[in-house]
């Protein structure tokens, strides 16, 4: 059954938040919703952009791979967020691949409907613009980080990225609500798997974090924040 935008409870979704009540039924009419298992590809680098995606539930990593090089995670996204905005502009070809980290439900809005919605809802256009501005800044910050930070700082930034993207467990205030695999953490930090293991071990020894199996618990958030701001 199709979920309706006009009665949706996701109040942080851009469509829900910034489109007029007249527009929501129109978007409901044109959108399509798909379910993906964990590890599924939503769109791939090189695909033509046909629309924009909105995450209804689940968690997703956005990956860039330069020819033959190891993959880099450029963004982590969760429910209520937009997906595939990097494809807009230029030649309308995705420069990145989106892969689910867990079971996810994703809504697709065709590009012409999205463009019309932007033109008809000035608040939507305004907030999309500010969203892009933030993404641009985050992206250039990441470039600086890859060039100038040491391994420990990179891992600290990556943990903070995960905190900012997915937050803490609601029932356990310093346990990450979702911990990506150690390999994925390496892709976020732009370092190797071995380095991630080593640095996480060091941080654990100094009582900054604790590793509980796959999950990571942050014990000293201020220390991590301070490490991030050294550059």
Partner 1 sequence: MDCRNCSNTKCFIQKHCLSTWLEYTQHHKITKQISATKTIFTEGDLVTGIHVLCSGKVKVLLKTSKEKEHIIRIAGQGQVLGHRGFSEKMIYPISAETLIESEVAYISNEDFFKLIRANKDLSFYMMMFFADELLRSEQKLRVHALKTSKEKVASALLMVVSAFGFKDEKTKHIDLGLSLRELANFATISYPTLLKVLDILLQEEVIGNIDNELCLLNETALINISTKEN
From residue 69 to residue 108, the character string flagging contacts with partner 1 as x (rule: CB under 8 A) and all else as - is -----x----------xx-xxx----x-------------
Using alpha carbons, list the distances in angstroms from residue 112 to 60, 92, 109, 119, 122: 24, 13, 9, 11, 16
In angstroms and rounded to an integer, the radius of gyration of the C-alpha atoms of the chain is 19
Minimal distance, residue 37 CB to partner 1, in Å: 28
Question: Which one of residues 38, 130, 226, 230 is an interface residue with partner 1 (CB under 8 A)?
Answer: 130
Indicate the SS3 state at residue 53: strand
- Per CB under 8 A, contacts with partner 1 among 145-174 are 147-148
Stretch that binds partner 1, among 3-11, 119-127, 161-169, 194-202 (CB under 8 A): 119-127
Q: Does 139 bind partner 1 (CB under 8 A)?
A: yes
Stretch that binds partner 1, among 8-16, 132-140, 197-205, 210-218 (CB under 8 A): 132-140
Q: In degrees, to the nearest 5, what angle opens at C-alpha 42 toward C-alphas 136 and 144?
A: 25
Are 58 and 7 spatial neighbours (Cβ–Cβ below 8 Å)?
no
Closer residue to partner 1 (CB): 136 or 230: 136
Stretch that binds partner 1, among 101-109, 127-135, 176-184, 204-212 (CB under 8 A): 127-135
Are 110 and 49 spatial neighbours (Cβ–Cβ below 8 Å)?
no
Question: Which one of residues 22, 112, 140, 172 is an interface residue with partner 1 (CB under 8 A)?
Answer: 140
Between CA 218 and CA 104 the distance in angstroms is 26
The per-residue DSSP string of 55-89 comes to EEESEEEEEE--TTSPPEEEEEEETT-EE-GGGSS
Question: Which one of residues 10, 26, 132, 145 is an interface residue with partner 1 (CB under 8 A)?
Answer: 132
Are 99 and 63 spatial neighbours (Cβ–Cβ below 8 Å)?
yes
Footprint on this chain of partner 1 (rule: CB under 8 A): 64, 66-67, 74, 85-86, 88-90, 95, 115, 118-120, 122-123, 125-126, 128-130, 132-137, 139-141, 143-144, 147-148
């Amino acid at each position: 059954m199709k979920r309706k935008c006009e009665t949706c409870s996701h109040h942080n979704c851009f469509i829900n938040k910034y489109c007029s009540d007249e527009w929501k039924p129109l978007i409901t009419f044109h959108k399509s919703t798909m379910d993906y298992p964990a590890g599924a590809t939503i769109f791939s680098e090189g695909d033509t952009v046909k629309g924009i995606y909105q995450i209804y539930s689940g968690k997703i990593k956005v990956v860039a791979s330069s020819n033959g090089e190891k993959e880099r995670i450029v963004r982590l996204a969760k429910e209520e967020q937009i997906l595939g905005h990097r494809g807009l502009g230029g030649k309308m070809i995705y420069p990145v691949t989106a892969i689910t980290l867990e079971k996810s439900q994703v809504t697709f809005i065709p590009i012409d409907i999205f463009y019309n919605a932007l033109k008809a809802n000035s608040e939507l256009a305004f907030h999309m613009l500010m969203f892009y501005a933030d993404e641009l800044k985050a992206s250039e910050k990441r470039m600086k980080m890859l060039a100038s930070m040491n391994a420990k700082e990179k891992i600290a930034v990556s943990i903070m990225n995960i905190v900012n993207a997915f937050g803490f467990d609601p029932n356990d205030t310093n346990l990450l609500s979702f911990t990506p695999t150690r390999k994925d953490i390496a892709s976020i930090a732009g370092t190797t798997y071995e380095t991630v293991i080593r640095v996480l071990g060091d941080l654990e020894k100094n009582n900054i974090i604790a590793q509980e199996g796959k999950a990571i618990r942050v014990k000293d958030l201020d220390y991590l924040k301070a490490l991030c701001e050294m550059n």
